[in-house]
Structure 1
Amino acid sequence: MSYSANEIAALAQKAARGAGFPPHQAQVFGAAAVQFLAGGGEPQALLDALSDPGDSPILRLPLLVEDIRRAVDLAGPRITLTLQSGDEALAPAYARLAGLHIAQAELGQSEDGLPRLLLETDPDRDGAAALPPRIAVEPPLMNRLSSLAARTYVPASDSSRSAGAGAGDIDND
């Protein structure tokens, strides 16, 4: 089934919050998940990232976006950034969030075996490439994202309703 970029971003963000990630990292993950899936990324990489809120690319890769902006200002359009092991799958998707036109993103390794992200930006073109209007997502991924997102919902109870949760009497026909 296909979904809009906004639907995927919102659900991925809620799933990250439900998995225990901080709000900012969850928000950036939602945007990166869209880039990742639009680029044909393997859904398992998203599920793996959500599995450990103590040690995950979701915690580290938002810093990559800031590093890319600084590196381009300092070094020019061709930059190489060292990644932490395990961040390779999602790093190119996060790189696309830097607001630069990325002509080429390539993963490699340094002499010491650390993963590296090689980027070539095009300063003559504005922003990131446009996303497709709809993105195909397999049901197992959507089901897992939905189940993690459901952890953020307020349980239905008389006390939660009296505090303002749910639809009001006017909202129900």
Structure 2
Amino acid sequence: MLFTHDTTAALVAAVALVNSAEEPDTLTDRAQLDAFFAEHGYTGSRTHDAAELEAVRAVRAPLRRLLTSDRDTAVTIVNDILAGHHVVPQLVRHDGFDYHLHATDPGTPLADRIAVETAMAMVDVIRADELSRLSVCADDTCGGLVLDLSRNRSRRYCSTACGNRIAVAAYRARRN
């Protein structure tokens, strides 16, 4: 295992959130936010209102900047997020998971929890000097992010759809 479960889960969620801004936008209503929340195992309070949706949508661009930055820039962004949210990491156990870090109170707004959890995950990525695990999709028509947790670092596309589209295009080019 490359990273701890909570680090991996936060990175997967952050990449999914950032990629939700790609066309077509897949985070346009509260039901989609509810599905995102459930799929990625977030805990804590929710307001379930339009303001919460807009706050989560607004965190996508800063997270994209963090996830695509060079190491020194990523450190600055992480430190700014952690300082700005007055983070006090604590070890907690819940929902069948052994001790892991939570850095915000469960009552903290969801968008803030997402930003802080992503920043905490990036602490591990930066310390392990593994920023190369994060990249932009190799499909030139796509701006999606790729989180490569494979052993041989072979993941190049943000989704199967992008990989298949490139493979079909290459096949057709060979046939012509």
What's the TM-score once normalised by structure 1's chain length?
A: 0.30
Using CA pairs under 8 Å that are at least 6 residues apart, name the structure with larger relative contact order, 1 or 2.
1
